[in-house]
């Protein structure tokens, strides 16, 4: 919908969402790291410690959410100036960021409950809530962006309001359903926040590498965005279009990764390591085959997809070329996603994952991106291809680690009372 408004709104919303992207990845690292405990604890049916891990994760999540809320409300212009020098993009993006920033703490709470619910095998509740939230977001975006049902056309501001309202509904509905059905994670305030410093240390020891991993990786992705934006506004607009398609294409594999993490974590917690390895291997194969299929669809439909955007022809040309690379290499990204989210983390192998995912991006991907853009002055699609060298390196090392089985660690025993 934003794509109907032109290149500047696309660039502005895309850059503003980079701030939210940083928050979401840090929270994702914290919560998926915590979920490797709750999945294994669910395997041994240790509900008390599941709730304590949840409470610890919520506490830290609110701290991170508050930090990014302050950035969004107090320093939006300065934050977006890191990415772009285009004043129109920065001004419009700042307006969007201030509105969605109000929802950051609510997002931190709802994401935590969703991830932990999935780790205990309850995928239906987060599904219902997410479907409801996205439906509200989509409907309100259409009404407020374009001024339907007699309301004024608010453009980018309307999109931000839709995001805010949908996240309020998402958090309230998730908590309501979780506690109404008496879920294993539906602890009292006393149960959730009964953890002590010793417990926190035992949990955070393997979780901190995940947080550092996601932080380094998210900063690497931010560096990529800086590179794309500094090439030109047309380049960052094209990449924001591709990123929207990329995220939709990867949804299935994020789901496979989460499902794999639950299955593998439950089996490790129950002491069935061979079965855990078998589930992990099947998930990897399923993900790669699925990604080859979806990548082929992207290649076949790229022209039709890009025709939906009302942007200059040069933006469409850049986006088409990047989509071709994405379609050919989607299997690689999907495989890595399942390796890291579904296998290494659920097995407690967070230090290796930190080196492979959080460090490789800075050793391989970021230097090549900067060299391609500013040393060799390559167009954005060739820079994107250089960035993909990071994924190739991670995949080769990750597959070797997977078959070694050194990633399997039973964490449930470390927090038992």
C-alpha 87/C-alpha 93 separation (Å) is 10
User: Model-level pTM?
Assistant: 0.75
Identify the pLDDT of residue 21. Answer: 85
Tell me the mean pLDDT in the region 45-68.
94
Number of folded domains that form the chain: 1
Looking at residue 414, its pLDDT comes to: 66
Is the pLDDT at 412 greater than 70? The verdict is no
CB 125 within 8 Å of CB 183: yes
Q: Which long-range contacts (CB under 8 A, 24 or more apart) does 185-191 make?
A: 185/38, 185/50, 185/51, 185/54, 185/113, 185/116, 185/117, 185/120, 187/51, 187/54, 187/55, 191/48, 191/51, 191/52, 191/55
pLDDT tier for residue 417 given thresholds of 50, 70 and 90: low
* CA–CA distance, 416 with 172 (Å, rounded to integer): 31
Name the one residue in this structure whose structure tokens are 């380094």: 216
pLDDT at residue 179 is higher than 60? yes
pLDDT band at residue 415 using 50, 70 and 90 as cut-offs: low
CA distances 190 to 35, 66, 108, 201, Å, are: 20, 23, 20, 19
Q: What's the pLDDT score for residue 395?
A: 94
Residue 416 has pLDDT above 60, yes or no: no
Tens-place pLDDT, residues 277-320: 999 999 999 999 999 999 999 999 999 989 888 888 999 999 99
Supply the mean pLDDT for the chain: 90
State the pLDDT confidence band at 173, using cuts at 50, 70 and 90: very high
Distance CA 16, CA 83 (A): 10
Q: What value does the mean pLDDT take over residues 165-187?
A: 94
Q: Which domain holds residue 184?
A: 2-415
Q: What is the pLDDT of residue 311?
A: 84
DSSP designation for 4: G
């Amino acid at each position: 919908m934003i794509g109907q408004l032109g290149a500047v709104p696309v660039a502005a919303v895309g850059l503003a969402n980079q701030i939210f992207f940083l928050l979401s990845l840090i929270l994702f690292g914290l919560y998926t790291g915590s979920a490797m405990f709750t999945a294994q604890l669910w395997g041994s049916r240790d509900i008390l410690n599941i709730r304590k891990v949840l409470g610890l994760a919520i506490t830290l999540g609110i701290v991170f959410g508050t930090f990014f809320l302050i950035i969004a409300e107090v320093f939006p212009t300065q934050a977006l100036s890191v990415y772009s020098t285009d004043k129109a993009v920065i001004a419009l993006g700042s307006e969007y960021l201030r509105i969605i920033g109000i929802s950051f703490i609510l997002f931190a709470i709802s994401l935590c409950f969703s991830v932990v619910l999935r780790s205990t095998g309850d995928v239906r509740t987060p599904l219902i809530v997410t479907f409801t939230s996205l439906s509200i977001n989509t409907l309100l975006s259409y009404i407020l962006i374009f001024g339907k049902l007699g309301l004024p056309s608010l453009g980018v501001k309307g999109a931000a309001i839709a995001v805010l309202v949908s996240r309020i509904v998402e958090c309230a509905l998730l908590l309501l359903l979780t506690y109404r059905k008496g879920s294993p994670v539906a602890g009292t305030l006393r149960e959730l926040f009964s953890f002590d410093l010793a417990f926190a240390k035992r949990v955070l020891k393997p979780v901190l590498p995940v947080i550092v991993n996601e932080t380094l990786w998210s900063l690497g992705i931010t560096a990529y965005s800086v590179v794309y934006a500094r090439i030109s506004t047309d380049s960052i607009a094209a990449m924001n279009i591709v990123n929207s398609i990329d995220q939709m294409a990867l949804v299935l594999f994020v789901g496979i990764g989460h499902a794999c993490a639950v299955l593998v974590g439950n089996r490790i917690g129950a002491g069935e390591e061979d079965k855990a390895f078998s589930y992990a291997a099947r998930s990897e194969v399923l993900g790669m085959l699925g990604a080859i299929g979806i990548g082929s669809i992207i290649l076949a439909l790229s022209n039709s997809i890009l025709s939906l955007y009302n942007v200059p022809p040069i933006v469409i040309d850049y986006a088409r070329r990047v989509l071709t690379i994405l379609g050919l290499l989607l299997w690689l990204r999907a495989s890595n996603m399942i390796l890291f989210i579904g296998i290494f983390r659920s097995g407690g192998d967070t230090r290796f994952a930190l080196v492979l995912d959080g460090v490789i991006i800075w050793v391989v991907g970021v230097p090549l991106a900067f060299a391609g853009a500013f040393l060799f002055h390559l167009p954005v699609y060739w820079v994107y291809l250089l960035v993909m060298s990071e994924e190739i390196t991670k995949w080769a090392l990750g597959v070797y680690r997977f078959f070694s089985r050194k990633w399997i660690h039973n964490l449930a025993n470390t927090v038992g009372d």
